[in-house]
Amino acid sequence: MRNSNAKFIPTLVKLTAITGLVFLPVVALASGGGGHADSGVLIKDFAYRCFNFALMVGLLVYFVTKPIRKGLKGRTAEIEKTLADAQAAKEAAEAKHLEYSEKLAKATEEIADIKEAIRREGELERDKIIASAKELAIKIEQEADNKASGVVVKARAELRKEAASLAVELAEDMLKKQVSADDQKRLVDEYMQKVGELH
């Protein structure tokens, strides 16, 4: 932008000078008195008018181009500053975008890792619960077997005891019913006799 402004001002000056040189003789001839005057006076008058025109163009170029140059320089500096700010903002935005993209990628990766860790922990916990439940079932079964065996043994012992007691009672009842007092006396005598024979 600065180069184009630097090229534009000398081009403007050259264009103004060329325009002045082309139109100056035309203006000078047009202001002449119809060609009746002396040629020396005409040349002097023409030179004087050319000088005045060149001086006027030079002053105009000097005084007009200076503010234009200043304005263009200021505008150029402003545009360059705006472009630099825009470039800095673009770079900052790209850096932020890159930073957020990296953070998003890391967050996505961390979420996947957390999901995987939770899944693994869930599977381990499930396996522990299943193993614990199996052990508990085996213990309960063994305790039930032990209790059942104890109950069966106890019940058998009680049944035997009861059966023996009932057998004795039945035997007594049967003996009482079948054996009379005379039979008892005879049995005692026979028993005593046998004991006497043994001695």
> pLDDT band at 29, cuts 50/70/90?
low
> pLDDT band at 1, cuts 50/70/90?
very low
pLDDT of residue 8: 54
- Alpha-carbon gap, residue 73 to 65, rounded angstroms: 12
Cβ 1 vs Cβ 79: under 8 Å: yes
pLDDT at 33 over 70: no
- Alpha-carbon gap, residue 65 to 16, rounded angstroms: 11
Phi-psi region of 35 (alpha: psi -120 to 50; beta: other; left: phi over 0): left
The DSSP code for 31 is T
Cα atoms found within 13 Å of the Cα of residue 131, Cβ hemisphere only: 6
Top-ranked range on mean pLDDT: pick from 26-40, 80-94, 158-172: 80-94
- Alpha-carbon gap, residue 71 to 74, rounded angstroms: 5
pLDDT of residue 83: 92
Q: What is the pLDDT of residues 65-122, one digit of tens each?
A: 777 777 778 888 888 999 999 999 999 999 999 999 999 989 889 998 999 999 898 8
Is 179 in a helix, a strand, or coil?
Answer: coil
- Name the least confident of 36-40, 83-87, 120-124, 127-131: 36-40
pLDDT at 5 over 70: no
pTM for the full predicted model: 0.35
User: What are the C-alpha distances in Å from 68 to residues 11, 59, 88, 90?
Assistant: 14, 14, 29, 32
Which tokens belong to 88?
A: 């800095």
